[in-house]
Structure 1
Amino acid sequence: MDVEEAVHFPEHGFGEFPRKLPENCVEYLLFILDNKLEPRNVLPELEAVRKAAINLCDTVAKGYIWQRDSFQLRIERDQHLVYLRGVTDYGDSIEDEWLIVYILRELTRSFPSLWLRIFDGDGEFLLIEAANVLPKWLSPEIDNNRAWIHDGMLYIVPLAASSGKKIALSLAEAVRYIQSNPDDLVHSTFVEAEALYRLEKYPGQITDSIHNSLATIPRKLAYILHERPSTIAPAVEAFYLRNPTAMKPLASLSGNPHFPPQDLVTISVKFTKVLFAQLKSQRFAYPPIWSSIFEAAEKHSSTTESTQKALAHLEIGMKITSGFEMLATNADKRDNRLAREFSMLLEDMEEDGADVLPTNEDMEAWEDVHREDDESWLDINFNDFENELQGNRGSREGASNGFGDAAAQADLQKIVSRFEAFLNDEKAGVEGADMEDMDQDDDLEDEDEDEDEESEDEDKEVSFDEEQFSKLMKEMMGLPSIQSDEYEGGPGFSSKTTTGGIVQGEKEREEDEDEDIKQLAAQMEAELKGHGALKLDPRPQAPKGVIAGDDGSYKGKEKAILEYEAKEGEEEEGEEEESSDEEVDVDYNLAKNLLESFKSQAGMAGPAGNILGMMGLQLPRDEDEDEEEDG
């Protein structure tokens, strides 16, 4: 490619870095920062770096399946800077992001003047990894454009590079500072080890992240997967993000699918572990066009291991085929290079017909055509997990070698060790996090310096007014507010009194609080008694003259209600705090409604009977007078 053709000059520029990236995207910038290099030679040098990066990716990540976007670089110019830029959407596969970091870090070892700046949607994710050992002055408010990788090592642009006090650093300022003061950059082995510790498992992690599984699929699809194995990624994504529109070709037998379940073959399909887990974990009922295939397979199935494996291969193949069918509905319109490649390959194959399809003999010559990897990594033994957390791995006879693989064990041990260090931090107190070094809001920069310092001093310690909190809580509970004199032991009590005075004031305050609580409890008890909520006598009792007549029946209930109304006025005049032995006030409408509801039950179970039963009231069956006469 010609150098000028590789240069991309945006019409409107990209604006200041870092831009807000979409979620699950990583952006990487490569600069040639060499004062001895003439500006006219920057473009050829960048082109050489770009080609070397592509070659390194093809060598290191050969056969790797990217979740969404692959590694890519192109030359761009922005803010009078010429550099290499790439953006990759790694989706749900965090390993894609760290693979890019590994490739670019190795690239910086080959070019002495190359500097790497990399960030994602979360910001400076390398500094986030090393948050436990970062210098105190480096906070999230000012960490922009400060983390750089050069010659395989992590450098931090110091605070002095900013044009103002503790403000964010622009990309142009960072580049100028690196060019003029390369020896003043901060390099800490502790920060570097924490930030890049995930790279220790590379390049072996590239191979370990691949999973091969046998699947029973149509021959047409087997051809596509052999020609473009990476198209499995957009197909799996289309499957687990499926929608009703994409499933229309599978919804009926009268459809015209691209991959009908005919001429099925069983081959090995290559996934990443993330893609395989997404496909395997989905519960998906086979569509109508696959019903006859599954019914025949289940009819002749048995409990033998080979038969069960065949059903499993058929299920995986059905999911893969359904994913490609959904992808084919709008593959040419998707913003994904692999999806567009699949669309063009499918179009060419349908034009050529069956002439391009492989025979059984052709497929037998394919590499790893019958490979099936162990799926035990999908299973989690929670006993092993608990042992790992407690550090008891290998203590029991016959115990497994540990939870997960070596990388998972290392990550788990690192998490546990950090958590233990946090719990054992003797400098931490009940006040929580140390806020003394937290930066002020950038919006306050225009205020006077004295006001900034005063505000900063106020924020250094977070205070908690226990007395004010107690006062507010008592007001919410309905207690009378206690004046400040009461809290401080009466008039004249100050913070300079003797120890004895302080103790005496505390005792008086506690006694006042106890008295207030007792008063509140008495008020609540009186109110609950007034409503009958504290009547715990399990014996069936009814309000006199209202619930039952003298003969235990409901014949006199109208008369009882009239008597209750006559007594109601007298009870209101002499209403005082009643004891639990006195009669309970009953609302007339409530009693009437309860009686009518109970009567409508006709002796059967119902809501009124259940409610009264829970209150300890067992009412007799209210039979009509004509029923009594008949009896």
Structure 2
Amino acid sequence: MSIPPSSSSPFPPQQPLSTPEDTVFYSIYPDLPSSGTSPTSFLHSLHLRILSHLSSLLPPTFIWHRDPFLLSPSLSPVPRLHGHVRFGDNLDDEWLVVSLLLSLSSLDHSLSIQLHDSDGDFLLIEAAYRLPRWLSPDQSPNRVFLRGGRIHIIPKTLSQDPPSLEQALAILSAGKSNTVASEPIQSAIESRIAGYPERALANMHTVRARLPLPVAQVLKHEPSLISLAVQGFYDRDVDSMKLAAKMERFLAGGETVVVPVTMSRAMYAQLVRQKFAAPRCYPMPAAGEAGFEEAELGMKIACGFEMMYGERKREGEEGKGETWEAFLRSLESSGCFQGVLPGSSEYRRIVDGAMEYYRKSSTFSRTRDMLSAPVRKIDEILSLEYSINDFEGKDLPPSDNDSWLYEGEDELNSVISDRQKEMEDYEFERSKQQKSRKQSTSNKFGANNFKAVAESMQAFVQKLSSFEGAEVPENRNSSAVDVDVGQFIKDMESVLGPIYHENHPDAELEEGSTSSEMDFDASENESDIAEPCADDDTEDNFMESYSDALNEELNATTLNKSFVRVSQQPCNYEDEGMPTASKDMSEELTPVDVDVNLVKSFVDSFSSQQGLPGPASNLLGLMGLKVPHSANKE
């Protein structure tokens, strides 16, 4: 939670904090009435309606793994109800939130609901094999919403760049454009939340446990506090273990009682699967005796309560907690401690100043109240009169079967099988599309295909690329590469020296000389240097001289024999008595067919792949062209 700096604050503004890994965030944006009701009163009324609807889906006794589903009103940046749920190791809570919000959007079609977690738009991840190719993580912000019981994705046709939140909400509320996601995407999300919220209720586990009397009293009045106790036990550290070693708050008198405790399956697994030695002050039967498992489970719950209570009480008094730690991290990232050794007097001075500023903020009081709320609740419950007689003499239900804890292989294999089938279906559809495109082309790689390859490659080469790298043009005209010819000539002259006139006697190359033998040293004979001429003539002369010199060097190699030249009428040089030198000159003057050579290189490269993936097939595939495997034979 960010703290707006005051004008007198010595600290820089906080940097945005990263999203916690085990938390889902949600925001509900209503279509506000044009006039009459104020946004504040409208949000308050909406809040009450939502709570009423959710209570019909989940009983009040439902136990969330870590945090319950809560909503808070806010007017910035736009009027909304928002909240977050930490689901920890229990992903069922995250998908339960999705199910509840989707049901809420079905009830009220004027609500646009947005969700995200540390992975971003996790709904898109669930439907990854059904998404259009353009919907990348960079394009997804403010595009995915729940509305009217459906998934909505604002298409690229309505906004090339990711829209702002206000723009996205305006598009959804107008209802003039089709923003409903495709049926495959809808099906992927619906199959993931199928069975909720009933599935979440079935995920509860009730077990007998022998608890100290104060712990049994707390759970009798506030069963949901079991989640904080399990969290305190599971996330214990050295300092909290010291609290459990004394058991000052929850073992007064040493009386214990067997009671049924309800928790999620994830909580039960976190308690049972961890080895933990009981504190010396805690009464425990010997291992193997009757009731040992009930006593061991109760001991872990009691230690969790003791650790949670002590930690919350201390953090509440200090008002620190996770909010203070986040504030301190933001100061470190902004450079407040740059060059300062941790633990030094200067470091402590900065921390003390930050703490003083933090204590004056409204966040401090809110954090203190939030951290101390469970402590106040426990103190209030334990202040009531209670005795062991309140729990004895009652028929206790048997513990639920926990075979699911040891027989999860079938469920795991089912999930893996579903994912494997999803991947296979995706690959099948992909191969079918590729086969369809391949059949749509001619069985022969004809002239039209040659032309398509050449044109596509030319468009690819001429396409100006961004910093993200070269991209194949998507059937749209690309701007030609922008080259300043005049500056290019000047740069070349600075390296090679001034340009000779082609008719200057000293500029003629001697017989058998090459461009590497040309001497452009102006110090030899300044009078031999041609007078400056017009820019156009200079450019033409330079290019001709450069081309002639380059061709003369290349003629000494076999490179020219590797190119396919433009088809001409065959000439019988021997019959006409034309000398060999003239024949070579005629071949030299025959232009190279660039397009044919380009396609020939592609086909040769494709043939050398021998049906395996390779650069030629990959590049041609990106350009939407499929070369038949028999193309090289034809």
Please tell me the TM-score bracket, short chain as reference: 0.5 to 0.7
Match of 2:66, SS state, is coil
SS in 2 for 1:214: strand
Matches within 5 A, 1:150-549: 150-162=147-159, 165=160, 167-251=161-245, 256-259=248-251, 262-290=254-282, 293-294=283-284, 296-298=285-287, 301=288, 307=290, 310-332=291-313, 333=315, 340-348=372-380, 351=383, 355-360=385-390, 362=391, 364=393, 369-380=396-407, 385=409, 403-404=410-411, 411-421=415-425, 424=428, 425-426=430-431, 452-453=464-465, 458-460=470-472, 492=558, 496=563
Relative distance call for 1:491 and 1:267 in structure 2 (3 A) is: farther
Q: Does 1:87 align with 2:84?
A: yes
1:395-415 residue CA offsets vs partner (Å, 9 max, x unmatched): xxxxxxxx13xxx67634321
Any residues of structure 2 matched to 1:129-140 within 5 Å, and which?
129-140=126-137
SS in 1 for 2:299: helix
Q: TM-score, normalised by structure 2?
A: 0.56
Query: Partner of 2:397: helix, strand, or coil?
Result: coil
Shift of 1:251: 3.3
Q: From the superposition, tell whether residues 220 and 380 of structure 1 become closer, same or farther in structure 2 (CA, over 3 Å).
A: same
Q: CA deviation at 1:259?
A: 2.1
SS of corresponding position for 2:167: helix
Whether the 8 Å CA contact 2:110–2:173 is kept in 1: the answer is no
Change (3 A) 1:192 1:428: closer
Shift of 1:343: 1.4
Q: Is the 8 A contact 1:250 1:289 kept in 2?
A: no
Deviation of residue 347 (structure 1)?
2.4
CA distance, structure 2, for counterparts of residue 269 and residue 92 of structure 1: 20
1:147 Cα deviation (Å)? 1.1
What amino acid maps onto 1:288 in structure 2?
R
How far the C-alpha of 1:46 sits from its partner, in A, is 3.0
* Cα offsets for 1:425-482 (capped at 9, x unmatched): 53899xxxxxxxxxxxxxxxxxxx9764587883449xxxxxxxxxxxxxxxxxxxxx
C-alpha separation in 2, matches of 1:496 and 1:455: 34
- Residues of 1 paired with 2:249 and 2:380: CA distance? 16
Q: Give the AA of the match of 1:204.
A: E
Query: 1:348, 1:41 → 2: CA distance?
Result: 38
Letter in 2 for 1:416: Q
User: RCO higher in 1 or 2 (8 Å CA, sep ≥ 6)?
Assistant: 2
Letter in 2 for 1:84: L
Shift of 1:380: 3.4
1:337-361 Cα offsets, whole Å, 9 max, x none, are: 8974441243235555xx323515x
CA distance in 2, matches of 1:177, 1:135: 20
> Taking structure 1 as reference, are residues 495 and 270 closer, same or farther at Cα in structure 2, changes over 3 Å only?
farther
Determine the structure 2 residue equivalent to 1:147.
Answer: 144
1-side partners of 2:310 and 2:18: how far apart?
32
Does the residue aligned with 2:88 lie in a helix, a strand or coil?
coil
Match in the other structure for 2:104: 107
Q: Which amino acid aligns with 2:311?
A: N
Quote how far apart the aligned CAs of 1:197 are.
2.1
- Residue 388 (structure 1) aligns with: none
Identity fraction in percent: 25
Q: Work out which of the residue numbers 6, 21, 25 in structure 1 matches 2:19.
A: 21
Q: Residues 376-426 of structure 1: CA distance to partner in whole angstroms, max 9, x if unpaired?
A: 111136xxx4xxxxxxxxxxxxxxxxx13xxx6763432120233356553
Letter in 2 for 1:263: E
The range that moved more, 58-67 or 149-158, is 58-67
Which segments of 5 or more consecutive residues in structure 2 lack a partner in the other structure?
6-12, 322-366, 435-460, 474-555, 565-596, 609-634
Q: SS of the residue aligned with 2:177?
A: helix
> Does structure 2 conserve the Cα–Cα contact (< 8 Å) formed by 1:261 and 1:289?
no
2:68–2:85 contact (8 Å) kept in structure 1: yes
Secondary structure of the corresponding residue to residue 124 of structure 2: helix
Separation in 2, partners of 1:409, 1:129 = 18
Q: How much has 1:260 moved relative to structure 2?
A: 5.1
Asked if 1 retains the 8 angstrom alpha-carbon contact of 2:206 and 2:400, the reply is: yes
User: Shift in Å at residue 363 of structure 1?
Assistant: 5.2
Q: 1:97 to 1:454 in 2, by over 3 A?
A: closer
The one-letter amino acid paired with 2:558 is G
Is the Cα–Cα contact under 8 Å of residues 121 and 144 in structure 2 kept in the other structure? yes
- Deviation at residue 126 of structure 1 after TM alignment: 1.0
Aligned AA for 2:378? L
* Structure 1 residue 297, shift from structure 2 partner: 3.1
Does structure 2 conserve the Cα–Cα contact (< 8 Å) formed by 1:234 and 1:339?
A: no
Compute the displacement of 1:178 (Å).
2.1
Paired residues of 2:24 and 2:86 also in contact (CA < 8 A): yes
| TM superposition shift of 1:250 | 3.6
Q: CA, structure 1 residues 457+75, in 2 after alignment: closer, same or farther (shift >3 Å)?
A: closer
Partner amino acid, structure 1, of 2:86? D
Structure 1 residues 452 and 168: alpha-carbon distance in aligned structure 2, compared to 1, 3 A threshold: farther
After TM superposition, the structure 1 = structure 2 runs for residues 10-89 of structure 1, keeping only pairs within 5 Å, are: 20-33=18-31, 37-38=34-35, 40=37, 42-62=39-59, 63-79=61-77, 81-89=78-86
**What is the RMSD computed on CA atoms of the aligned residues?**
3.8
CA distance in 2, matches of 1:190, 1:240: 39
Cα distance change, pair 414–39 in 1 and its aligned pair in 2 (3 A): farther
TM-score normalised to structure 1 length: 0.56
Q: CA deviation at 1:241?
A: 1.1
Contact 1:217/1:261, CA 8 A, preserved across alignment? no
1:316 to partner: Cα distance: 0.7
CA contact (8 A) 2:143 2:163 kept: yes
Offset at residue 22 of structure 1 (A): 2.3
Change in Cα spacing, 1:208 to 1:160, as seen in structure 2 (3 Å) is same
What is the CA distance between 1:236 and its match in structure 2?
0.8
Q: Which residue of 2 aligns with 1:440?
A: none
Q: Deviations over 1:503-530 (max 9, x none)?
A: 9xx9xxxxxxxxxxxxxxxxxxxxxxxx
